[in-house]
Each structure stands twice: as structure tokens, then as C-alpha cells.
Amino acid sequence: MNSFGRIFRISIYGESHGNQVGVMIDGCPAGLAISEDDFTEDILRRKSGAKGTTPRIEDDKPILVSGIFNGFTTGAPILISFHNKNTKSDDYKDLFSFPRPGHADFTAKMKYGGFNDYRGGGHFSGRLTLGLVAAGVIAKKLIKPVSVNAKIVEAGGESDIEKAIDNAIKNEDSIGGVVECKAENVSVGLGEPFFDSAESLLSHIVFSIPAIKGIEFGSGFHAAKMYGSKHNDQLIDVSGKTFTNFAGGINGGITNGNPLVFRVAVKPTSSISKAQQTINLNTGQKEELKIKGRHDVCIALRVPVIIEAVTAIILADLMLLEQKLPGIISDNSTR
């Protein structure tokens, strides 16, 4: 299903080289102030332009199509659109028969019987994450004073990220990275045991972002090497605060009042300038593939703001479900 969320529910649509990309948000409470300017910062953070990111530049101006009236959310579905302008579909003409290694070209063609829009990856493009970022902007406003911050902490195996990128550019290659996300001021009680654990919901939406290969909460994979006596976080007081935070802020699927902490692994960008080998799907012959197009050296650089967005979306959903959004509701005196 192309939707996620139980109360605050998002759906994304569009194609890389189609007319638009965008997001529909269902279940946002009425009365939240939203203007186009609210989107500027996060869209800029997601946008290409920095060293190592693609030279395709779109203005990425959000069009607030529905669900907002006189500067406030109305309670009706919110549709936010972004028009695609800077598309060069000729670059992708051959991809229908020559799937790019690491991309979804092969699986998409098989799944949709060749009817998928393959231009620039079509609906599979990272450009669809623009809708996630837009929904994240609204979610972040909604969940205040909860704050969500993500940053890249490693690229290509290095903590000196600029150096790693320079190396990759020199090699006509691409690199991956690790992004860490922390949410603060999260109240106790979000999430449920088992299927709707906070980790289940967060990992579900995080793996909706292209290029993610792993996620770990708190101690993560390191937990597998630890003793229980060390790993168990001990309470400081009755508020639930603990001395350590190996749990990553979650026990039994439920937030415990400590910061929510997780890390994700981002694979190296699949599109590289170097020649690669593929199979011609019509003939079965091996073929050399030189990917033209325009691509990021390290897609991980653009991931933090997307991780923040999806985290805020999940928190908004859980806080609405648990009736922990006093701000909006008190603004809304007749509700």
C-alpha cells in the first residue's frame, strides 16, 4: 500500500520525470498554522547542490493544494505538490532493456510487466522523498516541543566526511554512510507491545526510504556483544530517566521518556560514472553500461532531513493516538 500511518497518514505519488511528485496527508488536526515558508529550510537541506550531490536543480516550491485555509490546517486531507521541471528523460532511454546494477530497474520491470515509467527510476526515484520531507515539516510543527535531529556521522567508513567524498569523486565512484537520529522531549507511553512497537513503526518507515540497508536502536548491533548487567539501563528516578540509554529510549516497544536514538546505514549511491556490466534483457547478452544522467556521490548526505521527517511523522501518529498533543487541541477551543 502506498500509505502509512494510523491517524496521521501519508501517501506519496509521482514520478521522477513525470509532471509532479507530492504527498497527501490525512488525519492532520485542524488549527495548525502552515505557510509555504515553513518548508524552505527542510527542502533546502534535502536538495542537491553541495559537493557530492547531483547537479539536477529543481526549485522544489511546495504548492499547498488542499486542506489549508487562511493559513491553518482545516482537518481535511492536505495535498502538497511539487512540479518537476528540470527533467532530461533522454538520458534514460536505454534503461528499459539495460537494467542499472543496484537500482530497481529490473525488479520494477518484472513486477509491473514492463508498464512502469522507467524514466529516471520513475516512481522508484529518490525524488519521491520530497513528499516525505514536506509531510515531515508539518509533523515537526505538530509534535512540538518534541524535537527530532539527524546528522551524518560517517561516510565511506570515515568520520572525515569531506575527505571521503573527495576520494570517491576522484575514483568516479560513490560511497555510503551512517546517519544518526535523536528525538528529545518524547513523553513516556508511545508505541505498543509487539506489532506496533515504536521500533516496528520507525523501522517500517525508515526502510521506505531508498538506499537504507540497516537500522539499529540504542546499543544496536553492539548489544549482541554486551553483558546484560551492563546493557540494562538503570533508573535515575520515577520520571523514567536512566543513567545509560542502551535501550535507545524504548522498552517493550514503548517510549520510556529518554531520548529516542537510532542509526541507519545508507548504501553507496547505485549510479556511478564508472563503466559497469549489465544484461540486455531482450537478448540475454552482457553489455557494458555507462550511466549518464546526474547523480549523487554520497546519497547519505541528503538522508538526515528525510530521516527526521519520517521520525516526526511516526511520532505525530503515535502522539495523536495517545492524545499527547495538547498544544493544538487547546488552540481549538470548541473541539
- Residues of span 58-77 touching its own copies by CB under 8 A: 65-67, 69, 72-77
d(CA 296, CA 21): 19
Nearer to its own copies, 47 or 249 (CB): 249
Burial 217-230 (b: 16+ CB within 10 A, else e): bbbeeebeeeeeee
Q: Which range, of 3-11, 43-51, 87-95, 137-145, touches its own copies by CB under 8 A?
A: 3-11
CB of 40 to its own copies, least distance (A): 21
Inter-CA distances, 62 with 78, 102, 314, Å: 12, 30, 22
CB of 90 to its own copies, least distance (A): 16
Q: Which stretch binds its own copies (CB under 8 A): 35-43, 45-53, 54-62, 168-176?
A: 168-176
88 binds its own copies (CB under 8 A): no
Shortest reach from residue 42's CB to its own copies, in Å: 19
Is it true that the peptide bond before 304 is cis, omega within 30 degrees of 0? no
Q: Is 311 in the site for its own copies (CB under 8 A)?
A: no
Contact region with its own copies (CB under 8 A), list: 43-51, 53-61, 135-143, 246-254 = 246-254
**Residue among 137 and 254 whose Cβ is closer to its own copies:** 254
Q: Give the total residue count for the chain.
A: 335
Sign of CA dihedral 186, 189, 195, 197: positive
Q: How far is the CB of 326 from its own copies (least distance, A)?
A: 11
Give the dihedral sign, CA 240/245/246/252.
positive
Q: Is 205 in the site for its own copies (CB under 8 A)?
A: yes
Positions in 14-33 near its own copies (CB under 8 A) = 14-15, 18-22, 24, 26-27, 30-31
C-alpha cell recorded at residue 5: 500511518
- Does position 323 interact with its own copies (CB under 8 A)? The reply is yes
Site residues for its own copies, window 170-199 (CB under 8 A)? 171, 173-178, 188-189, 192-197, 199
Choose the stretch contacting its own copies; rule: CB under 8 A; options: 34-42, 44-52, 133-141, 252-260: 252-260
In the complex, the smallest distance separating the C-beta of residue 57 from its own copies, rounded to whole angstroms, is 22
Q: Does 272 bind its own copies (CB under 8 A)?
A: yes
Question: Which residues, 127 to 166, sit near its own copies by CB under 8 A?
Answer: 128, 154-157
- Identity of the amino acid at 256: N
Q: Is 96 in the site for its own copies (CB under 8 A)?
A: no
CB of 55 to its own copies, least distance (A): 18
- Asked if 38 is part of the footprint of its own copies (rule: CB under 8 A), the reply reads no
Q: Which residue in 310, 301, 219, 308 sits closest to 48, CA to CA?
A: 301
Chain-centroid distance, C-alpha 170: 28
Other C-beta atoms within 10 Å of 334: how many? 3
Give the Cα separation of 290 and 275 in Å (integer): 5
Dist CA 163 CA 174 (whole Å): 13
**CB–CB of 172/291 below 8 Å?**
no
Query: Of 101, 90, 81, whose CA–CA distance to 21 is shortest?
Result: 81
